[in-house]
């Protein structure tokens, strides 16, 4: 079954499953308990903090394991709201994930400055610098968009925020596992991520605290001293092991396969536009993730496309999975100036490392068949 909804979630990687089973079998004890067996579980847990610091940069203690990016966004922005000067505004990209926008709206209601962007949704470092000069006390810009795949200059933005001593929240949920993560940990940004986007189980992710800042008062929830006192609650060591294994494997794939996979995506886009006149690829000329295509189809409601493709055992989506069932067009497309009528014809196609070239070909054939049916 061709699966092209990896930006929503990915299948569990074999290495993640093996790591989960091994740790759950051999190190199931509570790592906070005083026994020797628990101490071995604690050593395992510490090794996964170390693994992230090696892969992404920064220090092991800067990584706080949690349930994922949604929790992370709310925890970080709540922390900012409690620590930044009263009344300060934050600068936010309008194309952020809905969970990040919800957290920003909750903790900074009436105090959000929307960052200007180009036609693809890219926010420049110069724009961020101008927002800080105008008084913004925090910056929120994701690494890569979950719907369009557009990549933001997060490293340049981080450098500006670091120089201005302004906190920067970078949602790396779609970047990690698809593009090299080296540098994220040492960027000085607050970084959030979810493991199920790159082959780990659902319900495990992390927050990376800013480089060179202990943030001793950052506390997601109280009650215990787990995760350096930042998040109380017994750690799910097995799922954390699976996250670490999956991320290590993805990081090893970039050098070998990334250019090949991007070539397949580009070839698919060329054929799609050529054979289905009127189709438009959103942000076609922008720097995008190698796996993502956000297409505005020439006719037919997106839900009808999804249903007919699903009957052919082809799985794609209309956009962010968290928005399924909501009325109205994608807020990302709205921010890019796409009309509501066009947005109703939007399909998000997102491949994975395991997606093959024949599956891209099969998807194109299925789309052609459905286009013919819907035109009748």
For residue 313, the SS3 value is coil
Note whether 65 and 204 are within 8 A (CB): yes
Strand partners of residue 113: 91
- Any idea which residue has 């999956």 for tokens? 246
d(CA 312, CA 362): 10
Q: Rounded to an integer, what distance in angstroms lies between the CA atom of residue 323 and that of residue 303?
A: 13
Instruction: Give the other-Cβ count within 10 Å of 227's Cβ.
Output: 21
The pair of three-digit structure tokens given for residue 319, joined into one six-digit string: 């956009």
Euclidean distance between CA atoms 176 and 151, whole angstroms: 12
Instruction: For 75-97, give the DSSP string.
Output: HHHHHHHHHSPTT--EEEETTS-
**C-alpha dihedral, 258 to 264 to 269 to 272, nearest 10°:** -160
Catalytic residue among 161, 170, 219, 322: 322
Instruction: Please provide the distance, in angstroms rounded to a whole number, between the alpha carbons at the two ends of the chain.
Output: 26
Strand, coil or helix: what is 280?
strand
Q: What is the DSSP letter of 237?
A: H
Q: Counting Cβ atoms within 10 Å, is residue 136 exposed (0-12), middle (13-18) or buried (19+)?
A: buried
Helix and strand counts by DSSP (H, E) for the chain: 11, 10
Q: What SS3 state is found at 370?
A: helix
List Cα–Cα distances, 121 to 90, 104, 145, 333, in angstroms: 18, 19, 9, 9
Residue in 166, 225, 177 with CA at minimum distance from that of residue 205: 177
Dihedral Cα 316, 318, 319, 320, nearest 10 deg: -80
Spatial contact of 72 and 59, defined as CB atoms under 8 Å apart: no
**250 is an active site residue:** no
H-only helix segments in 164-236: none
Catalytic center residues: 322
């Amino acid at each position: 079954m061709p699966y092209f909804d990896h930006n929503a979630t990915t299948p569990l990687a074999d290495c993640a499953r093996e790591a989960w089973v091994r740790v759950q079998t051999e190190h199931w004890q509570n790592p906070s308990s005083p026994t020797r067996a628990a101490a071995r579980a604690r050593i395992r847990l510490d090794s996964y903090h170390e693994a992230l610091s090696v892969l992404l940069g920064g220090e092991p203690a800067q990584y706080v394991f949690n349930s994922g990016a949604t929790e992370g966004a709310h925890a970080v922005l709540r922390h900012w709201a409690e620590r930044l000067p009263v009344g300060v505004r934050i600068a936010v990209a309008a194309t952020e994930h809905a969970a990040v926008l919800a957290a920003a709206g909750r903790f900074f209601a009436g105090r959000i400055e929307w960052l200007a962007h180009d036609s693809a949704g890219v926010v420049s470092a110069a724009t961020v610098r101008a927002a800080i000069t105008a008084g913004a006390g925090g910056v929120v810009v994701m690494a890569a968009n979950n719907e369009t795949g557009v990549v933001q200059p997060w490293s340049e933005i981080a450098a500006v925020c670091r120089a201005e001593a302004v906190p920067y929240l970078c949602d790396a949920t779609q970047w990690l596992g698809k593009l090299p993560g080296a540098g994220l940990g040492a960027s000085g940004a607050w970084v959030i991520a979810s493991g199920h986007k790159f082959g780990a189980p659902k319900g495990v992710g992390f927050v990376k605290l800013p480089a060179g800042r202990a943030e001793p008062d950052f506390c997601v929830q109280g009650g215990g001293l787990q995760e350096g006192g930042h998040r109380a609650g017994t750690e799910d060591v097995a799922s954390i092991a699976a996250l670490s294994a999956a991320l290590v494997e993805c990081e090893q794939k970039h050098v070998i396969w990334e250019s090949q996979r991007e070539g397949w995506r580009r070839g698919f886009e060329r054929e799609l536009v050529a054979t289905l006149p009127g189709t438009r690829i959103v942000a076609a000329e922008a720097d995008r993730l190698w796996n993502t295509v956000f297409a505005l189809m020439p006719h037919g409601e997106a839900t009808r496309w999804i249903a007919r493709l699903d009957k052919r055992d082809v799985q794609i989506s209309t956009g962010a999975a968290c928005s399924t069932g909501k009325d109205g067009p994608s807020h990302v497309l709205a921010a890019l100036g796409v009309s509501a009528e066009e947005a109703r014809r939007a399909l998000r196609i997102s491949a994975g490392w395991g997606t093959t070239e024949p599956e891209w070909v099969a998807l194109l054939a299925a789309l052609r068949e459905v286009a013919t049916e819907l035109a009748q």
